Amino acid sequence: MQAKEAAEVEIIRLLKAGKDSYISGQALSAALGVSRTAVWKHIEKAREMGFSIEALPSKGYRLNTSADAPFNGIEVSSGLETGFIGRNICFYPSLDSTNMKAFELGRQGAPEGTAVIADSQTGGKGRLGRRWESPAGANLYTSIILRPGIPPRHAHNLTFLSAVAVAETVERFSPVRPTVKWPNDILLDGKKVAGILMEMDSEPDRVHFVVAGIGVNINIKVTAFPDRLRPMATSLYEKSGKETNRAVFTCVLYSSLEKWYKVYREKGFLPLMEAWKGFFASVGKTVTVRSFDSVIEGVCLGVDDDDGALLVKTRAGAIERVVSGDVEIKRDGL
């Protein structure tokens, strides 16, 4: 969270840890190292931010966990278990695009792990210059700043890293196992539940920072999608039939990202690729790959372990390595 809300985050974290029991104002005051009046002001602020906090003069404060929790930076921060991803959260009710904002913050020197979250986006961006539908109150739109200290030619590694983290997180909340569509769309039963847009700021020989932009359709109903997207899009809600707490989802996602980022830094790309392939279901399928200047049709043979390039065998028998493009999977969907 932003530093100015640090006390509110700590109070909510303590109240959550106390489950449904009351915590005295004195205990909170001692834990935070501030006066009881200050505690009271922070409680008021947290209430304004949407938290249902009960107070009894003789007992203290209690978080009413049966009430709907708000979705904001305090709620996410108070549930975080990461070391650096999301330790600096910038939450906005609405943004043009979380990637735009994260990029700005990155240019200004924001630390690694800084996360931007918006409840809605007016100009949400997808891959290849496409729009990402971003209505309020339902989904997750977040962008995380990473500073991996790698050359740009390795930046694609982080595409696969993000896909693994998102797929793994979706798997935790979905009754259906997700699959990945090369390189980093996440599908449930062949329909898109999440997308990733990686952008980076670099010199030709070193990356200054990468922004991993992640959009996940969580509680949106398919009927709320524009007509053209309905046949291709789905959400966790559509598959599970119930609402998922967005803050909880976000915390699990950030933990997963951090875990795989550490694996990548310590052991390189190969373990990521192995995990990614566990979600990849296109081998043997007929695919059409459209890139800037070509269309390749053929059978998907798999991916190159070194760099994740898609391997496609054309009808003429040639094996094409695809490093960029948009994949369409023919027949049986995913």
Binding site for a second copy (CB under 8 A): 100, 103-104, 107, 127, 149, 151-153, 155-156, 158-159, 197-206, 208, 292, 323-325
Q: Where are the beta strands (DSSP E) in 101-184?
A: 115-121, 140-146, 179-181
Nearer to a second copy, 205 or 332 (CB): 205
> What's the CA gap between 322 and 308, in Å, rounded?
9
Closest contact distance (angstroms) between CB of 100 and a second copy is: 7
Residue partners of 315: CB distance under 8 A and separation at least 6: 297, 298
Nearer to a second copy, 203 or 306 (CB): 203
Nearer to a second copy, 98 or 255 (CB): 98
Q: Classify each residue of 17-28 as buried b or exposed e, where b means 16 or more C-beta atoms within 10 Å of its C-beta.
A: ebeeebbebeeb
> What's the CA gap between 38 and 41, in Å, rounded?
5
Residue partners of 194: CB distance under 8 A and separation at least 6: 166, 170, 185, 186, 214, 215, 216, 217
Could you tell me the sign of the dihedral formed by the alpha carbons of 233, 239, 245, 250, in that order?
negative
Contact between 217 and 139 under an 8 Å Cβ cutoff? The reply is yes
Closest contact distance (angstroms) between CB of 191 and a second copy is: 23
Nearer to a second copy, 82 or 159 (CB): 159
Closest contact distance (angstroms) between CB of 2 and a second copy is: 23
Closest contact distance (angstroms) between CB of 209 and a second copy is: 11
Closest contact distance (angstroms) between CB of 200 and a second copy is: 6
Closest contact distance (angstroms) between CB of 208 and a second copy is: 8
Q: Classify each residue of 75-102 as buried b or exposed e, where b means 16 or more C-beta atoms within 10 Å of its C-beta.
A: bbbbbbebeebbbbbbbbeebebbbbbb
Nearer to a second copy, 152 or 271 (CB): 152
Residue type, 317: G
Nearer to a second copy, 43 or 212 (CB): 212
